Amino acid sequence: MSSNKPMPVQTDISAPFWEGLKEGRVLIQHCSDCEKWTFYPRRHCSHCFSHQVEFREVSGEGVLYTYTVARIPTLPEFAGPEPQLMAVVELDQGVRVNTTLVGLKEDEIKIGMRVKPVRALVSKDGTVLLRFTGVDVDLAEIDEVPKQPEAPAAETAAASVRQIPLSDEEALQSLVSDEFTPWSNQLLVDQDMIDQFAALSGDDYWIHTDPERARKEGPFGGTIAHGALVQVLTSRLKVDLGFEITGFTNMVNYGSERLRFPSPVPAGSLIHARARVKSVERLRRGTQMVLELNIHVVGQERPAVINDLIILYM
């Protein structure tokens, strides 16, 4: 989920429709000459081309005309833990609306089913989009504004962690694996966090700090987080490695063998991380472990950060 999702541009013609949604009303245009309905908003009737059109409130109910399940995000900004349920709804007035279904499982969706409108708050500025759900679903409003997830609950008892003495070579080598750990907790990377990092680091390039310009001129549809910011957020992503090394005097972060930023993190994205042990090696200066840490935007298969972190035990 990201706050960089493309948003409809309100015009003088369409303003009543968007303002109506903010007030909890569905308004579409009606022609007083031919008595037919028009959607999307325009200056004239889409049937007789008369300019005698006015917005009238309707229930917003209708039937599901068609739909598709987009398991791969149509844009990176739409990445999330669940697939997109994209649909066309035919309102009772006969007009068809491109939309998204919410509050329904895939096996509950049927062509021709009765649906009703759902107000979706999508931005802190109060922007509301029109979603739909089944008429029997208890859902009238939904808040889609990205928010910081709750911090992981403090553990009341010590988790079961494998204790591995630094002297146990066989046990150390058994940690090397192609399998990644489970996902960490999730963290919201919002514009406020990006702006604070820009002020701290001095990197205030517009693609990070100017949402309006980034939306118009940037390749990602909005601002993105600094790669360095996403990297350092590793410390706030609690990855459960499942083991603990014991029997050492000192442990230091010795740097990285590899650091890459394969994909952007749009402002408003949720991120999470996972890891695996790539190698363990005995050296003169100590025992060196290479831990591959991957940070992803939630729902994205391609990592945003790949960091082969070198940990030195002495």
At 85-95, the pLDDT tens digits run 999 999 999 99
Does residue 216 have a pLDDT over 70?
Answer: yes
Name the fold adopted by 162-313. Answer: Thiol Ester Dehydrase; Chain A (3.10.129)
Among 94, 96, 99, which Cα is nearest to 118's?
99
What are the residue boundaries of the structural domains of the chain, listed by start? Answer: 15-143, 162-313
Q: Quote the pTM value.
A: 0.73
Structure tokens at 109: 């969706």
At residue 52, the pLDDT reads 96
At 224-268, the pLDDT tens digits run 999 999 999 999 999 999 999 999 999 999 999 999 999 999 998
Cα torsion angle, 35, 37, 43, 49, sign = negative
pLDDT tier at 157 (50, 70, 90 boundaries)? Answer: very low
Alpha helices in 155-250 (DSSP H): 169-173, 191-201, 206-209, 211-217, 227-232
The CATH class, in words, for 15-143 is mainly beta
Give yes or no for a cis peptide into 40 (omega within 30° of 0). yes
At 44-53, the pLDDT tens digits run 999 999 999 9
Does residue 5 have a pLDDT over 80?
Answer: no
Phi and psi at residue 220, in whole multiples of 5°? -115, 5
